[in-house]
Amino acid sequence: MSDIWWSLPLTLAVFFSARRLAARVKISLFNPLLISMAVIIPLLLLINMPYARYFQGSEILNSLLQPSVVALALPLYEQIHQIRARWKSIIGVCFIGSITAMVSGTAIALWLGATPEIAATIMPKSVTTPIAMAVSASLHGIPAISAICVLIAGVLGAVFGHMLLNLMRIKTKASRGLAIGNASHALGTARCAEMDYQEGAFSSLALVLCGIITSLMAPFLFPLLLALFG
């Protein structure tokens, strides 16, 4: 591990530099995660270093993911009065959004000729990575590819989500947060939290609810979609 001591400081330096750039430029395409990937991936390819070895040097960052997710409970607690007042609408929005995300991706994949294995892999693309991988495995999909699908959905939502909401003239913070959290899970939630505290709270709520709904509904929806489109 001594030969990859530079992995952690490099990751932090690139990410925080990307954040400063994004704060200055204020263009959605300059997403810190996207910029970091654009810098680090070519660098690893250039020096011919496998990702697994690079990951060993910065594994502590991965360990911090769980407490960071738990920390999302704080903005939820601070918005609890609004959540209580709108809980029926919130659950309805998350349920419809979760079903739409699962059905649309899976149906399109099957319609284009994807195998059931690939369709099962794509189905949980709009929930956070651990849940998506578990759901994919339970449906006999490929969890590793599901993680990539989740990453793509998250980056697209973080980069283009607010742009699309602005074009649709959706101004309500709760609506914006629920929409981003529903479609773009943790990455979208991080972007919402950067832009507005209340948006981040509702986005984190959608992240949790959609993960639960997807876990419960996917085993029932997938066979039905296979029968209809397979």
Which residues does 205 contact at the CB level (< 8 Å), separation at least 6? 76, 79, 83, 90, 177, 178, 181
Q: What is the pLDDT along the chain (230 residues), one digit of tens a residue?
A: 445 778 888 899 998 998 888 778 777 677 787 888 889 999 989 988 888 888 888 878 877 766 776 776 777 777 788 788 888 889 999 999 999 999 999 999 999 989 999 999 999 998 888 888 889 999 999 998 998 898 888 888 888 888 889 899 988 888 899 999 898 888 888 888 878 888 888 888 898 889 899 999 999 999 999 988 86
CA of 135: how far to CAs of 83, 97, 127, in Å? Answer: 27, 17, 10
How many Å apart are CA 226 and CA 230, to the nearest integer? 4
CA of 86: how far to CAs of 92, 172, 174, in Å? Answer: 10, 13, 10
Radius of gyration in angstroms for the set of CA atoms belonging to the chain, rounded to a whole number: 18
Packed helices 32-46 and 7-25: angle between N→C axes, nearest 10 degrees: 140
Packed helices 129-138 and 143-167: angle between N→C axes, nearest 10 degrees: 130
Taken as a whole, the chain contains a residue count of 230
Which tokens is 21 given? 């750039």
Q: State whether residue 134 is helix, strand or coil.
A: helix
Which tokens is 223 given? 């066979």
Q: How many CB atoms lie within 10 A of CB 87?
A: 11
How many Å apart are CA 142 and CA 119, to the nearest integer? 10
At residue 198, what is the residue type?
Answer: Q
Q: How many CB atoms lie within 10 A of CB 100?
A: 13
Q: pLDDT of 30-46, one tens digit each?
A: 778 788 888 999 998 99
How many Å apart are CA 134 and CA 141, to the nearest integer? 10
Of 109, 130, 113, give the one whose Cα is nearest residue 121. Answer: 109
Amino acid 108: pLDDT: 92
At residue 167, what is the residue type?
Answer: L
Q: State whether residue 196 is helix, strand or coil.
A: coil
